[in-house]
């Protein structure tokens, strides 16, 4: 029996067997860590997620959501105790350097912890998640005084944080921001404006909330170029670090949302009474650049949200499919004496479950790999390795965000289908998963914004070296898979898919320089999903090659041949696990990868109907 939200065996497979994070422990930076230590961290994270966070998941959705009462915002009451214990146990910033109050844990390990927390209760996780992002940004770009004054208390969880970008008239177009800043004689700034959709914008889990706010200093140019970023606390901070009077930051309401109801989504008014002050973070007019640090981390976090829910929905669906009895086996359909069986015996359920499983495990492998590349940036021996690792992080971050959230929504929906009518009812968590995951395709830069970033910026970044490095890695796996008998015929599909994708990306450059520039702009989302599928295929084959080796060793140890070995899955969970990895690669290669050629061909037709047709023709 698992924990019903995340397969911890697979987490360890990805970390230890697929990525091999033990390599990190030989570097100076991570020399204090070892596998048994990481195991303990993962075990504690799982325990905390299951015992403290999971019980509040349903409650914070139904009886005890975030509320706005008498002008005050309240987080779910059922979050108070878990939040206190979360901070006490040091979960806000395990990957933060020791000197800032963290433990210097590898990001790859923290990603695995985050998956457990997010799958248990994502709405809860948003409060400490945003705090970590805001504090990290202040730690990187702030003055030593600002780090001391704000970041340390945020890393400990005593104070919390937000990110204030969006305004009623400035969503995807952040450059349209109207919030303004006026320099005061003491060097601080008076802030005026309204921000909306601010997660954790106001609540009572902490008394102090620190808002990083994008605003334009009076007289600065329009657009993103003229935007600066300010640290704006809810309460002014006295010289001794204690909290002074309110800083004229007022939450005027919270949104009533489809999901993540435990997360307080606020409209914040800054300086309605002209008494809101903020400190400049970094230099003037560098707001967007600075905020991008937090945005990139948050994009990874949102991609993790897609994975979290996909994982929880999948684990629930498998469990249910094994228990729910309905209909006879297809081969017994005409036999009146045959008994009904668990629905996992039915072909469509199996196909659905394997589609979910392959995606969940592929996304887990991709996301942890991104986290591992962040670790490599910190500990690489050479500049070249560092740059290569950073290249992967840059390139894969928009894929992580958009791919995992789009697929996350599909996986939750398919998981609900496995439950049938019961899945649509609130007795089971599936309907909450479907509602809670959907926001992830929208916030933190919509998936179209991610796709534009990917196609317009990331593909060509570093003169195309990043994407070529990626294809280089994939090619290595294709070659290895071809030499594995159990995989060779399937590896061809990954090769074809990659080649079609390479050919398409070559044409992008030509389109960009011609009147056809609208083709990549219009097809950015399908383009991102194509590359995403190739990346998932790569990770699934990488895992399958390892699994095949492990299986051969297991069979040899048990003294059985391959055919006998296959029958062992019923009683031997290791055999079953590795066989599942082979199934992932075979299924994905046979059912997803062959579609890529056709999808590339669609874009290659350069049809422009959507942009050429009359607006009126969409609906008369």
Partner 1 sequence: MNIIACVKQVPDTEAQIKVKADGSGIEDGQIKWVMNPYDEFGVEEALKLKEKNGGDVTIVSVGPARAMETIRTALAMGADKGIHISDPALDNADAFVTASALAAAIKGLPHDIIFCGQRAIDDDSGQVGAMLAELLGIPQLTLVTKLDFAGSSVKVIRPIEGAQLSIETSLPCVVTAQKGLNEPRYASLPGIMKAKKKPVDVKNAAALGIASDVKAKVAKVVPPPARAAGKIICGDDAAQKAAELARCLREEAKAI
Rule CB under 8 A: say whether 36 interacts with partner 1. Answer: yes
Rule CB under 8 A: say whether 48 interacts with partner 1. Answer: yes
The contact mask relative to partner 1 for 551-590 (x = CB under 8 A, - = no) is: --------------------xxxx----------------
Rule CB under 8 A: say whether 226 interacts with partner 1. Answer: no
Rule CB under 8 A: say whether 39 interacts with partner 1. Answer: yes
Q: Specify the residue for token string 């950073």.
A: 390
Rule CB under 8 A: say whether 201 interacts with partner 1. Answer: no
Report how many residues bind partner 1 under the rule CB under 8 A: 26
- Set 115, 315, 361, 444: catalytic member: 444
Rule CB under 8 A: say whether 89 interacts with partner 1. Answer: yes
Rule CB under 8 A: say whether 32 interacts with partner 1. Answer: yes
Rank residues 232 and 551 by Cβ distance to partner 1 and give the closer one. 551
Distances (CA, A) of 366 to 360, 362, 403, 564, 577: 10, 6, 11, 33, 19
CA distance 67 to 23: 47
Min. distance of Cβ 577 from partner 1 in angstroms?
Answer: 10
Rule CB under 8 A: say whether 223 interacts with partner 1. Answer: no
Rank residues 39 and 220 by Cβ distance to partner 1 and give the closer one. 39
Rank residues 78 and 477 by Cβ distance to partner 1 and give the closer one. 78
Phi-psi region of 223 (alpha: psi -120 to 50; beta: other; left: phi over 0): left
Phi, psi of 565 (to 5 degrees): -60, -40
Min. distance of Cβ 568 from partner 1 in angstroms?
Answer: 12
For 71-78, which contacts have Cβ atoms below 8 Å and span 24 or more sequence positions? Answer: 72/202, 72/204, 72/251, 73/201, 73/202, 73/203, 73/204, 73/251, 73/254, 73/264, 73/266, 74/203, 74/204, 74/264, 75/127, 75/203, 75/204, 75/205, 75/262, 75/264, 76/123, 76/262
Rule CB under 8 A: say whether 616 interacts with partner 1. Answer: no
Q: Which stretch binds partner 1 (CB under 8 A): 29-37, 291-299, 436-444, 585-593?
A: 29-37
542 is catalytic: no
Rank residues 57 and 91 by Cβ distance to partner 1 and give the closer one. 91
Give the 3-state secondary structure of residue 523: coil
Min. distance of Cβ 32 from partner 1 in angstroms?
Answer: 7
Rule CB under 8 A: say whether 34 interacts with partner 1. Answer: yes
Min. distance of Cβ 321 from partner 1 in angstroms?
Answer: 17
Rule CB under 8 A: say whether 85 interacts with partner 1. Answer: yes
Rank residues 48 and 300 by Cβ distance to partner 1 and give the closer one. 48
Q: Which residues contact 56 (CB under 8 A, 6 or more apart)?
A: 64, 76, 78, 79, 82, 121, 124, 262
Of 369, 444, 364, 368, nearest to 407 (Cα)? 364
> Which ranges constitute the DSSP H helices of 380-487?
383-419, 421-424, 430-438, 447-452, 465-482
Rule CB under 8 A: say whether 103 interacts with partner 1. Answer: yes
Rule CB under 8 A: say whether 109 interacts with partner 1. Answer: no
Catalytic residues: 444
Give the binding site for partner 1 (CB under 8 A). 1, 3, 32, 34, 36-37, 39-41, 43-44, 47-48, 52, 85, 88-91, 94, 103, 105, 571-574
């Amino acid at each position: 029996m698992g924990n019903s939200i995340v397969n911890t065996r697979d987490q360890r497979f990805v970390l230890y067997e697929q990525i091999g994070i033990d390599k990190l422990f030989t570097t100076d930076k991570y020399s204090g860590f070892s596998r048994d230590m990481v195991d303990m961290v993962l075990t504690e994270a799982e325990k905390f997620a299951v015992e403290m966070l999971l019980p509040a998941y349903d409650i914070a959705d139904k009886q005890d959501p975030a509320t706005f009462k008498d002008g005050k915002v309240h987080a779910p009451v059922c979050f108070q105790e878990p939040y206190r214990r979360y901070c006490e146990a040091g979960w806000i910033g395990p990957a933060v350097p020791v000197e800032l109050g963290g433990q210097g844990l590898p990001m790859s390990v923290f990603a695995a912890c985050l998956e457990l927390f997010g799958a248990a209760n994502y709405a809860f996780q948003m409060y400490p998640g945003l705090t970590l992002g805001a504090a990290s940004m202040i730690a990187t770009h702030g003055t030593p005084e600002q780090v001391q004054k704000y970041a340390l208390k945020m890393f400990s969880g005593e104070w919390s944080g937000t990110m204030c970008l969006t305004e009623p008239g400035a969503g995807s177009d952040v450059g349209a921001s109207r919030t303004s800043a006026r320099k005061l004689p003491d060097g601080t700034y008076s802030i005026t404006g309204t921000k909306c959709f601010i997660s954790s914008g106001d609540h009572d889990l902490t008394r102090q909330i620190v808002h990083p706010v994008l605003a334009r200093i009076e007289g600065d140019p329009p657009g993103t170029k003229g935007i600066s970023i300010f640290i704006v606390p809810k309460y002014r901070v006295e010289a001794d670090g204690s909290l002074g009077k309110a800083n004229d930051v007022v939450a005027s309401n919270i949104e009533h949302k489809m999901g993540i109801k435990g997360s307080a989504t606020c409209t914040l008014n800054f300086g309605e009474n002209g008494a809101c002050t903020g400190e400049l973070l970094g230099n003037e007019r560098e707001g967007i650049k600075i905020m991008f640090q937090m945005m990139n981390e948050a994009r990874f976090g949102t991609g993790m949200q897609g994975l979290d829910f996909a994982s929880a929905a999948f684990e629930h669906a498998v469990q249910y499919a094994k228990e729910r009895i309905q209909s006879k086996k297809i081969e017994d359909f005409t036999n009146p004496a045959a008994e009904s069986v668990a629905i996992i015996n039915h072909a469509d359920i199996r196909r659905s479950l394997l589609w979910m499983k392959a995606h969940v495990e592929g996304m887990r492998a991709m996301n942890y790999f991104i986290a591992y590349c962040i670790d490599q940036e910190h500990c690489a021996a050479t500049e070249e390795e560092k740059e290569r690792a950073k290249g992967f992080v840059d390139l894969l971050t928009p894929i992580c965000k958009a791919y995992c959230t789009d697929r996350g929504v599909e996986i939750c929906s398919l998981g609900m289908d496995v439950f049938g009518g019961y899945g649509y009812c609130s007795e089971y968590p599936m309907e909450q998963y479907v509602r809670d995951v959907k926001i992830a395709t929208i916030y933190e830069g919509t998936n179209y914004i991610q796709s534009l970033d990917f196609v317009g910026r990331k593909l060509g970044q570093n003169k195309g070296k990043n994407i070529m490095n990626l294809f280089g890695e994939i090619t290595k796996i294709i070659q290895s898979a071809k030499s594995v008998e159990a995989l060779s015929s399937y590896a061809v599909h990954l090769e074809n898919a990659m080649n079609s994708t390479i050919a398409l990306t070559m044409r992008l450059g030509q389109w960009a320089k011609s009147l056809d520039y609208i083709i990549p702009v219009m097809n950015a989302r399908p383009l991102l999903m194509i590359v995403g599928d190739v990346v998932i295929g790569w990770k699934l084959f990488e895992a399958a090659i390892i699994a095949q080796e492990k299986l051969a060793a297991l069979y040899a140890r048990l003294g059985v041949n391959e055919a006998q070995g296959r029958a062992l899955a019923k009683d031997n969970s290791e055999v079953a696990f590795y066989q599942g990895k082979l199934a992932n690669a075979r299924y994905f290669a046979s059912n997803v990868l062959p579609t890529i050629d056709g999808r590339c061909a669609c874009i290659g037709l350069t049809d422009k109907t959507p942009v050429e047709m009359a607006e009126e023709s969409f609906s008369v």
